[in-house]
Amino acid sequence: MHRGEVWWVDFDERRPVLLLGDEEPSGFRAIQVVAAAPTDITGVALEVAIGNVEGLPFEAVVRVALPRPGLVPCTWLTTLSRSDLLEPAGAIPLTKLDEITELLHLAGLDYAREEWA
């Protein structure tokens, strides 16, 4: 269980998450992977497509909300324990992981680079 791996978890239903860091005493930092949708997210969020090209059994995106005055952006970040991880779905290459880390930085989550790099 390492940074860049995609795992299935149970959030009231089975969903994939991307591990953003290796296991720490508090658990794994992860971001939810969501189904790609033809929704216009311009100015609200940015996303990186992942899927079959990376060897995953599905097509999806990692979406990061952009900060907006008066709103707390939902970035779908979470911390999971080892027992939350059901089974691996695959892994993404370092280049995609770097794109996602850059999105987190653009969203004002600079600690993502320091702690998750």
Number of domains into which the chain is organized: 1
What is the extent of the structural domain holding 82?
5-116
Nearest to 113, CA basis, from 93, 97, 90, 92: 97
pLDDT at 1: 83
Q: What CATH number did the domain enclosing 57 receive?
A: 2.30.30.110
Cβ atoms 113, 106 nearer than 8 A: no
Where does the pLDDT of residue 89 fall: very low under 50, low under 70, confident under 90, or very high at 90 and above? very high
Structure confidence by residue, pLDDT tens digits, 27-61: 888 888 887 777 777 767 788 889 988 888 888 88
Retrieve residue 95's tokens. Answer: 């280049």
